[in-house]
Amino acid sequence: MTNSPDTKTTVSVPTGFAALGVPAAVDKGLAAAGFAAPFAIQTEAIPVAMRGVDLCGRARTGSGKTLAFGVPMIARIEKFAKVRAPRGLVLVPTRELALQVAEVLQPIGKECDRVILPVYGGASREDQIEALQKGVDIIVATPLRLIDLMKADEVVMSDIQVVTLDEADRMADEGFTPQVEWILRHVTGEHQTMLFSATLDGQVGNLVRRYMKDPEEVSIDQPTDTVGTMHHIFLGVHKMDKDKVVAAIAKSTGKTVVFCDTKRLCDRVTDNLLDLGIDAAAIHGDLTQAAREKAITRFTDNKLLVLVATDVAARGIDIDDVACVIHYVPPIDHKAYLHRSGRTARAGRDGFAVTLAEYNQHTTCRIIQRALRLDTKPPVEVFSNDKRLLDLNLFL
C-alpha cells in the first residue's frame, strides 16, 4: 500500500511523518509526493529504523511497508561518493514490485537529492549500467539481475549503509534465499538491515539469525490477519459455469483480480471472459514485461475490469482500490490464500475474497477456513444467474 497519495492535492509541511523523527528535507519530499499522514506500520517502524538499529517488520502486502522502510532509508543514507556504489539497497522478489517500490520512493528522493533506480530482469541491462555509472543512491533490485551486475563489476555493495529485504517470505518461497544470502555476504561495510515479511519463521527466520544484529520487531497484525475489512466468501460452482460466475461478480463488484494456478489457465479464463463481454487481461511469466506492465497500468487506470494472474506475476500488484479477489481454484494453503487475498481490502476499504470450489474441492476450502479461524460452513452452491452475485453482501 502506498498511502494512496493524490498528487494533485497540496500537502502542507510538516506532515504527520515529522512527529516520527523524519528530517525536514524528507518530510518536504513526502508532502510533495502527496503523503500527509502515516499508516500503522509506518508509525511503528519509522521511529525504530531512524535510530539505525536492525528491524524486523511483520506486515502484509497492503499495509504501507514501502514507506516504513523507504523513508528511514532515504533519511539515513549519505549522498553517494562513488559511481556504481549505491548507499541503499532494497531487495524484492519480482520486477513488478521493484518498479512499484521505486515509483513510490522516487518522488520523495527527488526532493532530497537522492537518485533511486529499479534494477530487474526484462529491462535494458545497458540502461541500468548507464544509470549506475552516472551515480545512484538507492537501488531497488531483484536478486538475479543484481547478481549479474555485481559479477560484471557494474555495481559494488561495499558502500551500502542500509539494506531492506521486502517480502522476504515470498523471496524464500520462490527459491531466492541462496541468492539473497550471496548478496548479503557482499555487503561488507557497517550497515543497518531491515526485513519485512508476512511471517518470520522458516527460511526467513534463518536470514534474521544469520544477517541481523539484535533486531527489534514491529508488527501491526497477527499471523493470520489481513489488512482492512475483508469479507471471505466460499462458493460452490459447476465447472462449466465458473467463468460466467466470475463475470457476474466482476460486473457487480468492480475492479477484480482473478488468481489462477497456471499460465495456460490464465489465458483460457481471460479468453472466456472476453467472449462474455468482460474487459480482461492476463499477466503471467510467458508474457513480455511490456505486456504485463501495460495490463497493470490499464487496470490501475480503471481501463480494465479484470486482471487474471498467476501468483508470481501478481506479486507486484500494489493497487488500493481492488474491490474483489477471486480464487479461481482454492489455493493450496492458507498462506497462499492470504497473499492472494491481500490485494483487496486495502487503505481502509472493504473488499471481498471469493473462493470458487467445484464439488471435489470443498475439503481444501475447509482446511483454509480452519487455518484462518473462519466459519467452516460448506461453500454456498450458486449458478451464474443467482441474484446474490449482484450484491456479494447477501452472502455474508
Position with higher pLDDT, 174 vs 365: 365
pLDDT of residue 318: 67
| 1, 23 Cβ separation under 8 angstroms | no
Of 346 and 337, the one with more pLDDT: 337
Residue 59: predicted pLDDT: 73
Contact yes or no for 316/94 (Cβ under 8 A): yes
- Entry field: residues in the chain: 396
Instruction: List, for residues 210-240, the tens digit of each pLDDT value.
Output: 999 999 999 865 444 444 578 999 999 999 9
pLDDT of the residue at 298: 92
Closest among 190, 159, 145 to 89, alpha carbons compared: 159
Whether 44 and 183 share a structural domain: yes
Highest average pLDDT, of 348-352, 355-359, 370-374, comes from: 355-359
Contacts of 193 (CB under 8 A, 6+ apart): 54, 55, 162, 163, 164, 165, 184, 211, 212, 213, 215
Residues 219, 227: contact at Cβ < 8 Å?
no
Residues 191 and 290 in one domain: no
Question: Considering the domain boundaries, does residue 13 fall inside one?
Answer: no
Q: Is the pLDDT of residue 305 over 60?
A: yes
Q: What is the mean pLDDT of residues 7-31?
A: 85
- The answer to whether residues 173 and 239 belong to one domain is no
Q: Considering the domain boundaries, does residue 7 fall inside one? A: no
CATH code (residue 261): 3.40.50.300
122 and 269 fall within a common domain: no
Record the pTM: 0.66
Specify whether 162 is located in the same domain as 288.
no
Mean pLDDT score, 297-302: 90
What pLDDT sits at residue 335?
76
Given 219, 248, 265, the domain boundary residue is 219
Q: Kindly state whether residue 224 falls inside one of the protein's structural domains.
A: no
Domain annotation covers residue 129: yes
> Is the previous residue joined to 118 through a cis bond, with omega within 30 degrees of 0?
no
Domain boundary residue, one of 165, 187, 219: 219
Q: Are 389 and 233 in contact (CB under 8 A)?
A: no
HSE value, Cβ hemisphere, 13 Å, CA-based, for 17: 33
Is residue 380 classed exposed, middle or buried when 0-12, 13-18 and 19+ CB atoms within 10 A define those classes? middle
Residues 45, 136 within the same domain? yes
Among 162, 195, 219, where does a domain finish? Answer: 219
Question: What pLDDT shows up at residue 40?
Answer: 85
Residue 126 amino acid letter = E
Mean local confidence (pLDDT), 338-343: 82
- Strands 306-309 and 280-283 come out as parallel
42 and 180 part of one domain:
yes
335 vs 69, which has greater pLDDT? 69
C-alpha cell at 290: 511490456
The pLDDT assigned to 8 comes to 42
Name the percent of the chain lying above pLDDT 90: 66
Hey, what amino acid is at 211? Y
Residues of the domain holding 280: 229-395
Using pLDDT thresholds of 50, 70 and 90, give the confidence band for residue 7: very low
Task: Let me know if residue 54 belongs to a domain.
Answer: yes
Residue at 119 is within a domain: yes
Please give the full DSSP string across 242-269, using - where no structure is assigned: HHHHHHHHHHHH-SEEEE-SSHHHHHHH
Residues 215 and 306 in one domain: no
Interior CA angle at 90 toward 6 and 35, to 5°? Answer: 15
pLDDT in tens, 99-152: 889 989 999 999 989 999 999 998 899 999 999 999 999 999 999 999 999 999
Which amino acid appears at position 353 of this protein? A
Model pLDDT for residues 54-65, shown as the tens digit of each residue: 999 987 666 688
- Residue 274 CA to residue 284 CA, distance in Å, equals 17
Is residue 5 a part of any domain in this protein?
A: no
Condensed to tens digits (0 to 9), the pLDDT of residues 367-395 reads 999 888 888 899 999 999 999 999 999 99
276 in the same domain as 131: no
Mean pLDDT, rounded, of the chain = 89
Q: Clarify whether residues 119 and 237 are in a common domain.
A: no
Q: Are residues 233 and 326 in the same domain?
A: yes
User: What's the mean pLDDT in 160-169?
Assistant: 95
Give me the pLDDT at residue 5, please. Answer: 52
Q: What is the pLDDT of residue 185?
A: 96
Give me the number of domains the chain comprises: 2
Q: What is the mean pLDDT of residues 176-189?
A: 95
- The three cell numbers of residue 224 are 493470520
Confidence of residue 169 (pLDDT cuts 50, 70, 90): confident
Examine the domain organization and report whether 352 and 259 are in the same domain.
yes
Asked if the structure places residue 28 within a domain, the reply is: yes
Contact between 172 and 123 (Cβ < 8 Å):
no
Higher-pLDDT residue of 325, 297: 325
